[in-house]
Structure 1
Amino acid sequence: MLKLKALLTAYFQTGLTDKKYDDSNRRIYVVNLFSFVGMVITGLMSFNAFIQQDYLLALVLFIASIIYFSGYLLQKKTHNTVLSTAFILYSLIFLMIYLVYSGGVNNTGPLWIFIIPPVALFMHGLKRGVIDNLVFIVVISFIMFYQNGALLDTEYSFQFKTRLIYSYLTVTFLSSFYEFSRNRTYQYTLELSKKYELLAKLDPLTKLSNRRDALLLLEQEHSKQKRNPMNISLILCDVDKFKLINDTYGHNFGDKVLIQLAECFQNALREQDIISRWGGEEFLFILPETSLRDANILAEKIHRLVRNLQCQHDKTTIHITVSMGISELTATQRIRDAINIADKCLYQAKVSGRNQTISTLAE
């Protein structure tokens, strides 16, 4: 039993990716599930038709069973969900047309057509799924009503045929509404997930990367550095006497200062550079392909921009200064060690009078 369960699990999960909540995973899983269920049911129906000596129906159902399994193999080999879903769905539609034409066993064949609306809508989406259903209903309506059933291999009453069409249209409408609602819910959930994922990476005040995101980005740059040697410099920046600013002018003004500084810093950086709010009034600059000398040049540029920054409190202009420590991250170095060096340089800049930059270049 456990071995059978393991085999079925492996069958249903064929082609799934690591993206657990990806909608394409659901489609792949449904293709695998539907191919298995379709293969088993049509196989059993084929055996039943064979027992009842309806050999043509038995052959058709047996071929359908093979087709469903072939759809699974097609997806497994090509990883093309679009192709495999089309292969399975249109095979199903042709089988349903045949069941309407032949009547199946004791004229119960048309009862199976109601599986098409949900399957078509899920596999092909709302727009194309509706088109598939409308084309199918036109085809079977033509077959059933043309010259009072001249194209049929069996007989249905007029009442049965009209009620079959009305019922199918009702199921199609309800399935379409469900697919529309499901898609709206999925899109809303996806957008909400992206929004929260973005918020988890950003500092809510300055809209810069937060400490957690900065470390992840720094790890990515460090991995690139190990593959392709390049210089990476780090600048740890701290606002001078920020506590005094908060105590004197209030925390709202302090927040305003941080926001203005964040904009100022972003204007000074290149596209590939990364800046984050490291914590409180501290900012971390991650500078790929930047030597210590170039990082010092950038630091001087930042000092000039900050000196020209005008932070207004009522009618008073408050002048802000910053202190910075610079270090270089090497491919063989640990990230935290490089950050600690920048932090020590920042401390040295603070105790040396503030409003200056200290780097390992000066050692």
Structure 2
Amino acid sequence: MDERNGNDRRDFYFDAQLGLWRSTGLITWGLALFGIFSLVMGLLDFFRDDLLLAGVLFTCSAVSFAGLVVAQVVGYHTGAKWYFIVPILGLFFMLVLHGGVEQTGLYWCLAFTPGLLYLLGYFWGAVLWVLMIGVLSLIFFTDVSPFPGGHYSAVMEGRFLLAFIGLGLYSLGQDYALTRAGQYPGQP
């Protein structure tokens, strides 16, 4: 146990790529919830005959469960975070292009964005976040979507961008503040 801040080192792993401590619980629960969520949503889309989105969701679910196995068997330090980051990023843009933002009404493609940014660390998470804002803006302002129903009203685009910006600022700010305040264990 790290006496300085009360954190048990077993709950964290050191990400050598970032030079930061990351939570094993976030990856474990994030991969499990994302896998289950993708599986359930994939089944719903399958029975609604939206086979493309169902296939994407089933793939995300399979990759998430594979990442969970890698993290549990081989270890978190092996890059298990990429089994979480890549499917979430792919699904995020698939939902934006497919029209999932407006159809759900709950912005559920934002649900796993904080975990994605957290696993990249506050610097690389901020870089990805800015790139995502740029790509989202380009998609929204040019109405580029190969799918019917993938075009949004200006009000929906504005609300979604504001929600995404606010969520990213909160997530990255929280991680930065906790890291700087020493809330994670010391370096190995």
Shorter-chain TM-score: which interval?
0.7 to 0.9
Q: Give, in angstroms, the shift of residue 123 of structure 1.
A: 1.0
Distance 1:38 1:93, change over 3 A: same
What secondary structure sits across from 1:53 in the alignment?
A: coil
Structure-to-structure mapping, 1:1-363, within 5 angstroms = 19-20=9-10, 22=12, 24=14, 27-81=23-77, 83-104=79-100, 107-108=103-104, 111-146=107-142, 149-153=143-147, 154-186=150-182, 190=186
What secondary structure sits across from 2:80 in the alignment?
A: helix
Deviation per CA, 1:231-263: give whole Å up to 9, x if none.
xxxxxxxxxxxxxxxxxxxxxxxxxxxxxxxxx
Cα distance in 1, alignment partners of residues 134 and 112 from structure 2: 14
Ranked by relative contact order (alpha carbons within 8 Å, sequence separation 6 or more), the top structure is: 2
Question: Which one-letter code corresponds to 1:72 in the other structure?
Answer: L
Q: Is the 8 A contact 1:28 1:81 kept in 2?
A: no
Report what 1:243 is aligned to.
Answer: none
What secondary structure sits across from 2:133 in the alignment?
A: helix
Deviation per CA, 1:144-180: give whole Å up to 9, x if none.
222xx13352221012112211221111112222111
Q: Greater strand percent: which structure?
A: 1
Q: Is the 8 A contact 2:101 2:108 kept in 1?
A: no
C-alpha RMSD of matched pairs (Å): 2.7
Question: Which one-letter code corresponds to 2:34 in the other structure?
Answer: G
* Contiguous gaps of at least 5 residues in structure 1: 1-17, 192-363
* Contiguous gaps of at least 5 residues in structure 2: 1-7, 15-20
Moved over 3 A (4+): 18-26, 187-191
Deviation per CA, 1:123-156: give whole Å up to 9, x if none.
121101111211222222222222xx13352221
Percent of paired sites with the same residue: 23
Report what 2:17 is aligned to.
Answer: none
Question: Which one-letter code corresponds to 2:48 in the other structure?
Answer: Q
Q: Is the 8 A contact 1:93 1:116 kept in 2?
A: no
Deviation per CA, 1:206-241: give whole Å up to 9, x if none.
xxxxxxxxxxxxxxxxxxxxxxxxxxxxxxxxxxxx
Q: Give, in angstroms, the shift of residue 87 of structure 1.
A: 2.8
Q: Is the 8 A contact 2:92 2:110 kept in 1?
A: no
What secondary structure sits across from 2:180 in the alignment?
A: helix
Between Structure 1 and Structure 2, whose CA radius of gyration is higher? 1
